[in-house]
Amino acid sequence: MEKITAIKGIKDILPEDAPTWNYIESIVRQVFSAFGFREIRVPIMEKTELFKRSIGETTDIVEKEMYTFRDRDEELLTLRPEATASVIRAYIEHNMMSTDPITKLFTIGPMFRRERPQKGRFRQFHQIDVELFGDEKPQSDAEVIFMLVHFLKVVGIKELSLEINSLGCKICRPVFSQAIVNFLKGSEKDLCPDCQRRISTNPLRVFDCKIESCNSIIAGAPKILDYLCAECAEHFEQVKSYLNDLKVAYLLNPKMVRGLDYYTKTAFEIKSGSLGAQNSLAGGGRYDGLVSFLGGSEIPGIGFAVGFERLIACMPPTEINKFKTDIFIAALGPRAQKISFGLTNELRRAGISAAMDYTDKSLKSQMKRADKLNSSFTLIFGDKEIDEKLVELRDMKTKNQQALSLDNLPEAIINILKER
């Protein structure tokens, strides 16, 4: 029989890793709620149209990375490649703007993109996604960035660099875009094939190219910050000023462009050195026109996404993954085995993690198992103890053993465990 394996780029989160995931999620909920963000859970599937409209028809994500299929009724559905579109859809669909003019949401979950997997890049990956609707003030930009940086520090990320830029708005960005195209006109043949393609698809991306020759050409190109309209320029100045007030260290990166079409004004990215080529740990920005573009009213928004797997990759190692058991019950012989089965489950019902071995193995091997399960205590008894109505309770750390009466045993054990 041929073995069935997981799909390429889609991984299991194994029991030894799950506690780390839960730990991070608990920090997310704790930190974000202090900033007034509430959790929303959105579906992993949406109508394909939603992503085409929000992310942009000509982006790589939409053009070649989405998992799209036809439903039985012929409707085109897509496994979400990112969360913002779904959150905005839900925001509009449930009229959240009429309940609260400023809505702060976050969501955590899997995203799907059909790319070639490599370090820090998977076909199913997880994001922590934050969206703030209804506030166009630069304080919002600074607040969201501050929260992100704070969150990463709480989780234990040591080395991170924050880069910010302004991408302009629908008035000033096209002007800049055209300026870049004009600037590159004539030197197309000196650019790499990728950049030649970018001129027509997404000219700002040329800034991102890693090839030396392209870099030297683009070095003399116009800078976005010189093209910002008065409003965008002022907004960006304010954002920087508030970040300074909050003592958030940042790097101004005029070459940073985000890959999704919908970003306006502030764009930001967190990078970490320990991640390999996929060094972007989190990214986000403002998207003031997007809510209305998706059918809502003119409501500004700003948000970011953190790559969960990448976050784990640059986290310091922790002890939280160790599996622990309160008590292991080592029963010797059929009589003890029978009593143990009831006792184990009685303790579990009381919320104590209890374990036993259903095979009547040697005490030595049962002790080994108790050790493997990291049990704090081991209860030892066989025929002798049953006859004497006294069982042995061993503290695995101190090796002290005390005798406990067989009567009222669950209560006695519960009390001892509570006292610790």
Partner RNA sequence: GUGGGUGUAGCUCAGUUGGUUAGAGUGCCGGGUUGUGGCCCCGGAGGACGAGGGUUCAAGUCCCUUCACUCACCCCA
Of 96 and 281, the one with the shorter C-beta distance to RNA is 281
Residue pair 207/191 in contact (Cβ under 8 Å)? The answer is no
Q: 12 φ, ψ to 5°?
A: -80, 145
Residue 215 C-beta: closest distance to RNA, Å: 11
- 3-state DSSP helix/strand/coil percent for the chain, to nearest 5? 40, 20, 35
Output the CA angle 228-198-68, nearest 5 degrees.
Answer: 105
Q: Per rule CB under 7 A, is residue 65 in the interface with RNA?
A: yes
Q: Which residues of 243-261 are buried (b: 16+ CB within 10 A; e: fewer)?
A: beeeebebeebebbbbbbb
Stretch that binds RNA, among 85-93, 96-104, 149-157, 391-399 (CB under 7 A): 391-399
* DSSP of 65-98: I-EEEE-TTS-EEEE-S-SHHHHHHHHHHTTHHH
Of 53 and 205, the one with the shorter C-beta distance to RNA is 205
Q: Per rule CB under 7 A, is residue 116 in the interface with RNA?
A: yes
Q: Per rule CB under 7 A, is residue 119 in the interface with RNA?
A: yes
Tell me the C-alpha distance between 179 and 223, whole Å: 9
Residue 207 C-beta: closest distance to RNA, Å: 10
Q: Per rule CB under 7 A, is residue 410 in the interface with RNA?
A: no
Q: Per rule CB under 7 A, is residue 288 in the interface with RNA?
A: no
Stretch that binds RNA, among 38-46, 160-168, 179-187, 360-368 (CB under 7 A): 360-368
Q: For RNA, which residue of 31, 162, 394, 417 counts as binding (CB under 7 A)? A: 394
Q: How many residues does the chain have?
A: 420
Q: Per rule CB under 7 A, is residue 110 in the interface with RNA?
A: no
Tell me the C-alpha distance between 214 and 218, whole Å: 6
Query: Could you give the string, one character per residue 327-356, with x where binding to RNA holds by CB under 7 A and - elsewhere?
Result: -----x------------------------
Residues 137-196 touching RNA, rule: CB under 7 A, are 194
Q: Per rule CB under 7 A, is residue 258 in the interface with RNA?
A: yes
Residue pair 67/77 in contact (Cβ under 8 Å)? The answer is no
Q: For RNA, which residue of 72, 170, 324, 397 counts as binding (CB under 7 A)? A: 397
Of 20 and 127, the one with the shorter C-beta distance to RNA is 127
Tell me the C-alpha distance between 342 and 350, whole Å: 13
Residue 329 C-beta: closest distance to RNA, Å: 12
Stretch that binds RNA, among 43-51, 86-94, 273-281, 288-296 (CB under 7 A): 273-281
- Tell which phi-psi region holds residue 334, choosing left (phi > 0), alpha (psi between -120 and 50) or beta: alpha
* Helices marked H in 246-355: 290-293, 308-313, 334-349
Q: Per rule CB under 7 A, is residue 383 in the interface with RNA?
A: yes
Stretch that binds RNA, among 162-170, 172-180, 201-209, 223-231 (CB under 7 A): 201-209
Element (H, E) at 26: helix 18-34
Q: For RNA, which residue of 113, 240, 265, 286 counts as binding (CB under 7 A)? A: 113
Element (H, E) at 243: helix 230-245
Residue 127 C-beta: closest distance to RNA, Å: 5
Q: For RNA, which residue of 51, 125, 242, 287 counts as binding (CB under 7 A)? A: 125
Tell me the C-alpha distance between 280 and 206, whole Å: 18
Tell me the C-alpha distance between 156 and 314, whole Å: 9
Q: Per rule CB under 7 A, is residue 207 in the interface with RNA?
A: no
The residues that touch RNA, with contacts defined as CB under 7 A, are: 5, 8-9, 59-61, 65, 82, 113, 115-122, 125, 127, 194, 198, 205, 208-211, 258-260, 269, 276-283, 305-307, 309-310, 332, 361-365, 367-372, 378, 380-385, 392, 394, 396-397, 399, 401
